[in-house]
Amino acid sequence: MPKTIDIPVPDLAGRRALVTGASDGIGTHIAARLARAGAEVVMPVRDPAKGRAAAERVRERVPHARLDVRTLDLSSLASVAELADDLRREGRPLHVLVNNAGVMTPPTRRVGADGWELQLATNHLGHFALTVRLLPLLRAGRAHVTSQVSVAANRGAVRWDDIGWEHGYHPMKAYGSSKVALGLFAMELHRRSVREGWGVRSNLAHPGVSPTNLLSAQPLLGRPRDTTEVRLIRAYSRRGILVGTPETAALPAVHAATSPDAQGGRLYGPRGLGHLGGAPAEQALYARLRSAEDGRRVWELSERLAGVTVAA
């Protein structure tokens, strides 16, 4: 049986958090743990019915949970702008932002609403645009921003000359490219916050490996059945061998976003063998995410692609 793990989380009463991808898997567990600590959790989801069902699952575990299900398609910059505009009109500070949602390895190249490759659009560009548009609320809340990367960011690279993978699409390389871009952005966000005095702490988390729908069969993404690898991950997770569960995989992001010991500009992930499972701990920042020049480059490129800049 997998080992149950929990971590201390500060009292978040009176705090407002936003978790992308909270309708499923790790995201639902992140939302539940923040809600259990007292935070009001905004759950922006692509499918409202699925979001409401996820909120009910959270309330079954956390009866006092304060949840706010909103609509968001991260692959659509118009949808990102609509949500951010609504939240900014409401004017309530955000204290925690977890950029968690993701798409992983469609076997053939797919595009989002704006024509960008789907993994780039969802994993990076949508999160970039959302974070920048929400910056006034994040600054007002002196927010902790945690962006969810992947072990793929330790071996991937941004394809600068064809970031949308219009030529020679490779599912895993495109996924790694999107996660490296997100990681570089998160590190650059922290550098700019320190330099400009924004008061926003930005860091990274990765969940290790666990059996979630990110890896599962998804016919709409062209994966009609589970791979042998996914079936093995499920079996190992059930037996508590090497990899984590969706519950334990949520904890690095929770720790990174809430712990007073978690710092900006750092990476947090599972401490177990190969960093595949276990309790969260700080880890060495992946080499591909350390370059300040690459961080500046990905920020400026993302501004052009998303049409979003920091207001003066």
Tell me, yes or no, whether 204 lies in a domain: yes
pLDDT value for 258: 98
Give the domain CATH number at 202: 3.40.50.720
Tell me, yes or no, whether 4 lies in a domain: no
Tell me, yes or no, whether 311 lies in a domain: no
Tell me, yes or no, whether 107 lies in a domain: yes
pLDDT at 61 over 90: yes
Which of 132, 114, 118, 123 has its CA nearest to residue 78? 114
List the beta strands (DSSP E) in 225-290.
267-270, 280-283
In terms of average pLDDT, the best of 59-73, 143-157, 265-279 is: 59-73
pLDDT value for 276: 77
Q: First vs last Cα of the chain: how many Å apart?
A: 53
Q: Is the Cβ–Cβ distance between 190 and 265 less than 8 Å?
A: yes
pLDDT digits (tens, 9 = 90+) for 159-174: 999 999 999 999 999 9
Which of 207, 115, 221 has its CA nearest to residue 171? 221
Domain with 203, as residue range(s), is 16-305
Tell me, yes or no, whether 127 lies in a domain: yes
Tell me, yes or no, whether 94 lies in a domain: yes
Global pTM exceeds 0.85: yes
pLDDT value for 278: 86
Residues 6+ apart with CB under 8 A from 90: none
Q: Select which of 169, 175, 236, 286 is catalytic.
A: 175
Q: What is the three-class DSSP state of 40? A: strand
Q: Is the Cβ–Cβ distance between 260 and 9 less than 8 Å?
A: no
pLDDT value for 198: 98
Please give the residue that has the higher pLDDT: either 269 or 218: 269
The domain tally of the chain equals: 1
pLDDT digits (tens, 9 = 90+) for 76-108: 999 999 999 999 999 999 999 999 999 999 999
Distance CA 137, CA 26 (A): 25
Q: What percent of the chain is modeled with pLDDT above 90?
A: 80
Exposure b/e, 225-240, CB count within 10 A at least 16 = b: ebeeebeebbebbeee
Tell me, yes or no, whether 8 lies in a domain: no
Please give the residue that has the higher pLDDT: either 243 or 136: 136
**Which residue is it, tokens 């501004």?**
303
pLDDT at 200 over 50: yes
Q: What is the three-class DSSP state of 1? A: coil
Q: Is the Cβ–Cβ distance between 245 and 6 less than 8 Å?
A: no
Which of 220, 283, 213, 275 has its CA nearest to residue 244? 275
At 311, is the pLDDT very low, low, confident or very high (cuts 50, 70, 90)?
Answer: confident
pLDDT digits (tens, 9 = 90+) for 10-47: 999 999 999 999 999 999 999 999 999 999 999 999 99
Clarify whether 286 is annotated catalytic.
no
Tell me, yes or no, whether 60 lies in a domain: yes
